[in-house]
Amino acid sequence: MRRRTKNFNLKQLYRTVYEKGSATKPELGQELGLSLTAVSDYVNQLEELGYILSTDKGSSTGGRKPWLYEINPDFRFIVGVDMRASHFYIFLSDLRGRLLYSEFVSVHKTYELYLERIAQAIEALLAKKGINRSCVMAVGVSISGVTDFDNKVVDLSNELEWKSRPLGHALEDILGVPVFVENDARVYARNEINATEANNVVTVLYLSRGVGLALVVGDRVLQGYTNRAGDSQFFGKDIDKIYHVIRTCALFQEISDLPYYYEGTEPTYIAELNRRFMRHMEQNPATQAAVEVFSTEVARMMIAMANVVNPKRILLTGNVFDYFDLIYNQVRDQILRLPVCHTPEVKRNSPQDNPLENGIVRLIMEKFFQLDQFSI
């Protein structure tokens, strides 16, 4: 194998290929300020190591067409876990986020039992798919709560009733692979990153048994000085009205207990749920009143955020928006009606986009490119 130039980091080249999707050697040389001879040497090294592969030939202004290069999606794998109070969702994907396996696992939320069950499920998944641990780039965990800067410790999770739990470190000790833990709002926020648009500002609201907020600015998710950017305490006592509905209304409890709205969810099932939710509201005036309070307060909260950060888009996500069309439409319409300095686009996730899976994959790839523990 050729020796690489001393001061060039192959991760930089690999990241460029990853972000561009596919590129020719001349395009990569131009992007990185390298001669064609130098970039050819580096590309060949990455291809020999298995990180990238050559595909169809690109266009040419004359002469022989150059090869296109893209990352090898099967060179490593990513395991993702979404943690809820009564169950967790586990999946396996390639480096491009292509879903290879997924399942839901029931669990008790006691920390020790939860930890043991996740580790068992991951080990069983790898054994079932015949994947060696050395081929797992990392495990990404989505949780409702607050994590530390290094994404290893759960500082607080009201949904699971955990405080100061070293979940990432504990799973790393058991599995022998890197593990990163991030809160759910920031996981979904990573899908809103646009590295090519410096003025990209997006506010993300994730609602489950708690309220999660995240802010995307350009090519990053804002963390804040103490990793608490998006803390809902910003809204003071007004947010108590939202918490009261979430924690006391039977309809909201039922929706929160539903599993992640993933791509394989049957549309007929969603339609039937919406009909049942509507019947429940029609037969229960108290529930209808609670939904009205909820929608109004959530819209007011997002309007306040919009007037502070002036976002291009607002993403409403979580079961209450994903499953129940009425609540999503009410909140969206109220946001769009109220006065703001700029009327943002309001959207929700589509299960066909695999938002949870892609958010976790983006988290892991972000860590791979940022941290020295990952090297080429």
266: pLDDT strictly greater than 80? yes
Mean local confidence (pLDDT), 227-254: 82
To 10 degrees, what angle do helices 10-20 and 36-49 make? 90
C-alpha separations of 110 from 65, 277, 356 in Å:
59, 31, 24
| Dihedral sign from CA coordinates of 188, 194, 195, 199 | negative
HSE, CB side, 13 Å, CA atoms: give it for residue 248: 13
Same domain, 134 and 239: no
Residue 180's nearest CA partner among 221, 151, 148, 215 is 151
Three-state secondary-structure class, residue 22: coil
One domain, residues 156 and 110? yes
- pLDDT at res. 1: 46
Q: Is residue 375 assigned to a domain?
A: no
Q: How many CB atoms lie within 10 A of CB 250?
A: 12
- Is the pLDDT at 66 greater than 90? The verdict is no
Residue whose C-alpha is closest to residue 287's, from 249, 244, 319:
249
Mean pLDDT of 105-109: 94
Residues 21 and 108 in one domain: no
From 25, 54, 71, give the residue that closes a domain.
71
pLDDT at 116 over 90: yes
Helix (H, G, I), strand (E, B) or coil at 230: coil
Check whether residue 309 and residue 335 sit in a common domain. yes
pLDDT > 60? residue 4: no
Distance (Å, whole) CA 82 – CA 118 = 10
* 55 within a domain of the structure (yes/no): yes
pLDDT of residue 334: 93
Instruction: Indicate if 159 and 222 belong to the same structural domain.
Output: no
Q: Is residue 376 part of a domain?
A: no
Going by pLDDT thresholds of 50, 70 and 90, the confidence category of residue 7 is: low
| pLDDT over 80 (residue 135) | yes
CATH number at residue 65: 1.10.10.10
* Cβ-proximal residues to 58 (8 Å cutoff; 6+ apart), any chain: 22, 24, 27, 65, 66, 67, 68
Confidence of residue 234 (pLDDT cuts 50, 70, 90): low
**Residues whose CB is less than 8 angstroms from the CB of residue 147 and which lie 6 or more positions away in sequence, other chains included:** 153, 154, 155, 181, 182, 183, 227
Q: What pLDDT does residue 176 have?
A: 97
Give 249's pLDDT tier (boundaries 50, 70, 90): very high
3-state class (DSSP) for residue 175: helix
Q: Does residue 4 lie in a domain region?
A: no
Confidence at 131, pLDDT banded by 50, 70, 90: very high
**pLDDT recorded at residue 235:** 65
Q: To the nearest whole percent, how much of the chain has pLDDT over 70? A: 94
pLDDT given at position 196: 80
* Residue-range definition of the domain harbouring residue 32: 10-71
pLDDT over 90 (residue 268): yes
Share the mean pLDDT of the chain.
91
H helices present in the chain, as ranges: 10-20, 25-32, 36-49, 111-129, 167-175, 184-189, 239-248, 250-257, 267-283, 285-309, 319-323, 325-337, 355-370
Residue 33 CA: distances (Å) to CA of 8, 23, 291? 11, 15, 56
pLDDT of residue 188 exceeding 50: yes
φ, ψ for residue 208, nearest 5 deg:
-140, -115
Provide, rounded to the nearest whole percent, the portion of the chain with pLDDT above 90: 77
Q: What is the pLDDT of residue 260?
A: 92
Residue 260 and residue 300 in one domain = yes
User: Are 200 and 346 within one domain?
Assistant: yes
In the DSSP assignment, the letter for residue 196 is: T
Residues in the chain: 376
∠ CA 99-103-107, nearest 5°, is 140
3-state secondary structure string, 126-138? HHHHCCCHHHEEE
151 and 220 in a single domain? The answer is: no
User: Is 245's pLDDT higher than 60?
Assistant: yes
Q: Is pLDDT above 80 for 129?
A: yes
Q: Is the pLDDT of residue 261 over 70?
A: yes
Q: Give the number of domains in the chain.
A: 3
Q: What is the mean pLDDT of residues 53-60?
A: 74
CATH code for position 339: 3.30.420.40
Query: What is the pTM assigned to this prediction?
Result: 0.92
pLDDT per residue over 282-331, tens digit each?
999 999 999 999 999 999 999 888 888 999 999 999 999 999 999 999 99
Q: What's the mean pLDDT in 51-76?
A: 82
Q: Are 200 and 315 contained in the same domain?
A: yes
142 and 224 in a common domain: no
Angle between helices 285-309 and 239-248 (to 10 degrees): 140
